[in-house]
Chains A and B, each alone.
Chain A
Amino acid sequence: MGTGSSSTGPRAGARRCSLCGEPAVAYLPYARLALCPRHFVEYIDRKVGRVLRRVGALRRGGLIVAAVSGGKDSTAMLASLAKHAEEAGTRLLAVYIDLGYGAYSSRSREAAVEACRRLNVDCLVVDAEEVIGAPVYELARRSRRPVCSVCGIVKRYILNAVAVEAGADYVALGHNGDDVLAYALKSFLNQDLGYVAKLGPATSTLPGLAVGRLRPLYEVFEKETLIYVLVSKLPFLHEECPYRPRAPIEQGLKEALNRLEEEHPGLKISALRRLASRIKLYESLAGGSEVGRCRHCGLISAGDECGFCRLTRRVLGEPAGPRVREWARRRLEELGARQPSGGGTGGLHVRGDEALEQDGGGTGHPGGGA
């Protein structure tokens, strides 16, 4: 690429970095800044750092489980988080969930594992079919539910189970600012205001039941995560999941918001900051729903049986929660990554480029989804 020959010079009409005068790779109208690769990466890292500090996510000796999918968002999240975690002395464990979606999954798995290797972050690959005992699409088919809905249940459950077993402080997700706004608007349209309460930069941990979620990219937009991975030269997969609906509501909401942002620069960042400041209000509107413990696996549940155990019990004849927890416990012990008391320091001596993967299943899929 970049072939054309022209007498107008290599970067005709290019903007220059507002900070150093080098050719810019991005112009951010909401910040009135043009930035070169170096200053762009620094700018995004600063935004991520502010969010992490605001929620107190970085604890010396603490552990953050980062959900990676091989896509641009979780790759950017991991890259930036890794810098801040190293500085703060917080350990990181990337978790990739292989959902068994054929060639698409193999490519996303490859990208995720390679990004972890380059960032020197340990990566635990979870083969969903192996740990559950059936592939995700089979669970969906036999329960007559959409694949996306079953996939969401499986990803959330596995991430939480691994994080609880690892004694992690947080599960970091790749949700960017555009994702958060689209989820918030969708929840408003559905009048599911209780869900809005979960859309802050971090949610709380319920000890032994659920590990809090962290959104390092809360104030970073989708376009910015893309530029971040491109200029950082990190591998990522820019493909759509084969099971993705033809017209997801979230995408329409994002496109509408982007049109508004073009006319009113700063609208999205203000909306996100206001949303983050009103989370308590939405929590009170949600009316503090009862939190229970699943009678099978012991993790968080609305009643006495969690959604994952109910689904797998109906489809497979027995709830798969306990075996997923047992699998996670065993693998984390093998890796020296377990902190049973939730406080001390674990080993995590295995380097990112060593094989933390289990055998079987040459397939993969984004594991850090909504």
Chain B
Amino acid sequence: MVRVVAEVLPDRRVAEVELERGTVEELLSKLGMGREGAVVVRGGVPLVEEEVLRDGDRVVVYRAASGG
């Protein structure tokens, strides 16, 4: 089990998420987002979807899709 803290922008919502596999893709799915519409960043570095997060990681999730 991997616990991460995700700050979602532009919503400014902070979520504590528990993950089984700990992948970025799993995090996005738990947050109700698809991989095309968001970028997960750790320490200023964007992560690909297969990247495995570590217990205690803090990440920023940039929701890409915005209104017109």
Question: Is A288 an interface residue, CB under 8 A from the partner?
Answer: no
* Cβ-defined contact, A222 with B54, below 8 A: no
- A3 in the interface (beta carbon within 8 A): yes
Q: A259 on the interface (CB 8 Å rule)?
A: yes
In contact, A14 and B36 (Cβ under 8 angstroms):
no
Check A305 for interface membership: any CB of B closer than 8 A. Answer: no
Q: Total contacts A to B, CB within 8 angstroms?
A: 119
Check if B45 sits within 8 Å of A223, measured CB to CB.
no
Other-chain contact of B48, A8, A24, A248 (Cβ < 8 Å): A24
Q: Are B65 and A255 in contact (CB under 8 A)?
A: yes
Task: Give the residues in chain B near A251, CB-CB below 8 Å.
Answer: 65-68
Q: How many residues of B contact A (CB 8 A)?
A: 35
**B9 neighbours in A (Cβ, 8 Å):** 238-239
Closest B residue to A369 by beta carbon equals: B68
User: Is B56 in contact with A254, judged by CB distance below 8 angstroms?
Assistant: no
Map CB proximity to A onto B18-51 as digits: 1 under 8 Å, 0 otherwise: 0000010000000000111111011111111111
Q: How many residues of A contact B (CB 8 A)?
A: 47
Q: How far is the CB of A279 from chain B (nearest CB, A)?
A: 20
Query: B34, A1: Cβ atoms under 8 Å?
Result: no
Q: Which residue of B lies closest to A261 (CB)?
A: B36
Residues of A within 8 A of B10 (CB): 238-240
Please tell me if A6 contacts chain B, counting CB pairs below 8 Å.
yes
A183 lies within 8 A of B43 (CB): no
Confirm or deny: A360 has a beta carbon within 8 angstroms of a beta carbon on chain B: no
Q: Are A262 and B35 in contact (CB under 8 A)?
A: yes
Whether B60 lies near A222 (C-beta < 8 A) is no
Contact A262 B42 (CB under 8 A): no
Given contacts A239-B10, A255-B65, contact A4 B54 (CB under 8 A): yes
List CB contacts (< 8 Å) of A8-24 with chain B.
8, 11-15, 24
Complex contact B39–A223 (CB within 8 A): yes
Cβ distance B2 to chain A, nearest Cβ, rounded Å: 9
Contact, CB under 8 Å: A258 / B37: yes
Min CB–CB distance B5 → chain A (angstroms): 9
A219 interface residue (CB < 8 Å to B): no
CB of B64 within 8 A of CB of A223, answer: yes
A contact residues around B36 at 8 Å (CB): 221, 223, 258-259, 261-262
Q: Does A2 contact B (CB under 8 A)?
A: yes
Complex Cα gap A34–B48 (Å): 9
A59 to B56, CA, bound (A): 52
Contacts of B64 in A (CB 8 A): 178, 222-223, 226
Is B57 interfacial (CB 8 A cutoff)?
yes
- The interface residues of chain A lying within 8 Å CB-to-CB of B66 are 222, 240, 251
Query: From A6, which residue of chain B is reached at the shortest CB distance?
Result: B54
B54 touches A12 (CB 8 A): yes
Find out whether the CB atom of B39 lies under 8 angstroms from the CB atom of A227. Answer: yes
B68:A370 contact, CB within 8 angstroms: yes
Query: Does A282 have its Cβ within 8 Å of any Cβ on chain B?
Result: no
Question: In the complex, which residues of chain A have a beta carbon less than 8 angstroms from the beta carbon of B51?
Answer: 11-15
Q: Which residue of A lies closest to B68 (CB)?
A: A250
CB distance from A240 to the nearest CB of B (A): 5
A302 within 8 A of B: no
Query: How close is A35's CB to chain B, nearest CB, in angstroms?
Result: 9
Beta-carbon contact of A1 and B49 below 8 Å? no
Q: Does A289 contact B (CB under 8 A)?
A: no
Residues of A within 8 A of B55 (CB): 4, 6
22 of the cross-chain contacts (CB-CB < 8 Å) are A1-B43, A1-B44, A1-B59, A2-B43, A4-B55, A5-B56, A12-B51, A13-B50, A14-B47, A14-B50, A25-B46, A25-B47, A26-B46, A27-B48, A34-B48, A178-B64, A179-B68, A222-B37, A226-B39, A226-B62, A230-B39, A369-B68
Counting from the closest, the 3 A-B pairs by CB-CB distance are A2-B43, A248-B67, A4-B54
A interface, CB within 8 angstroms of B: 1-6, 8, 11-15, 24-27, 34, 178-179, 182-183, 186, 221-223, 226-227, 230-231, 233, 238-240, 244-245, 248-251, 254-255, 258-259, 261-262, 369-370
Beyond A1-B44, A4-B53, A26-B48, 6 additional contacts (C-beta under 8 Å) are: A2-B44, A4-B55, A5-B54, A25-B47, A27-B49, A230-B44
